[in-house]
Amino acid sequence: MKYTEINDIIFSGKQNIAWNEVEQYLRKYDNMEIRIIETGDNVRINSVFADEYVNSEYTKKLRGGLAKAKANLAQVIPELVANATNRRWIENKDPKHNENAIKGWYRYDVHFAIRVYDGSERKKYLNYYAATAVIRINDKGCFLYDVINIKKEARTPTDH
């Protein structure tokens, strides 16, 4: 498994993430298409992604370090998606998605690491995370929808 590394913390704070700034940052990916290396699937990003990423029920429940991790994950979305693994298909069961996910959902495993610095801005170590990329499928193709289930991995941070 490949970890996508985040070297800069551009969305700081654990209590009050500026989600409106994260949403604006994500807008730069509108109309981007990314090929997943493992499966060859082409995944598109449209304006729905930025809105869902910052306003989903999952995001609203995030606190502390996991909220900060999701906010900063915005910096590496294309690489994260390209390195996604372990595709699973799930039937759409929610009527509100009958049009935009008429062919169901893919869930992929994604992995990332966040660089932690000491007070002098020297690289200190990496914290490792696993998450799930959610991709909706319809007649127009596959579209990135959200990144959920972010979990800090129970492993010793490493110098890197």
Establish if 157 belongs to a structural domain: no
Assigned domain for 158 exists: no
Question: 60: which residues sit within 8 A by CB, 6+ positions away?
Answer: none
Q: CA–CA distance from 132 to each of 64, 68, 140, 141, 148 (Å)?
A: 19, 16, 22, 19, 5
The answer as to whether 93 is a domain residue is yes
User: What range does the domain containing 67 cover?
Assistant: 4-152
Residue 81 lies in a domain: yes
Query: Is 145 a member of any domain?
Result: yes
| pLDDT for residue 156 | 63
Whether 159 is in a domain gets the answer no
Total domain count, the chain? 1
In a domain, 160, yes or no: no
At 43-68, the pLDDT tens digits run 999 989 999 999 999 999 999 999 99
- pLDDT score at 14: 63
Q: Summarize pLDDT for 6-55 with one digit per residue, the tens.
A: 988 899 876 789 999 999 999 999 999 999 999 999 999 998 999 999 99
Q: Of residues 156 and 73, which shows the higher confidence score?
A: 73
Per residue in 103-146, pLDDT (tens digit) is 999 999 999 999 887 666 666 789 999 999 999 999 999 999 99
- Average pLDDT for the chain: 91
In a domain? residue 103? yes
- 3-state secondary structure (DSSP) of residue 60: helix
Alpha helices in the chain (DSSP H): 19-26, 47-55, 57-61, 64-73, 77-82
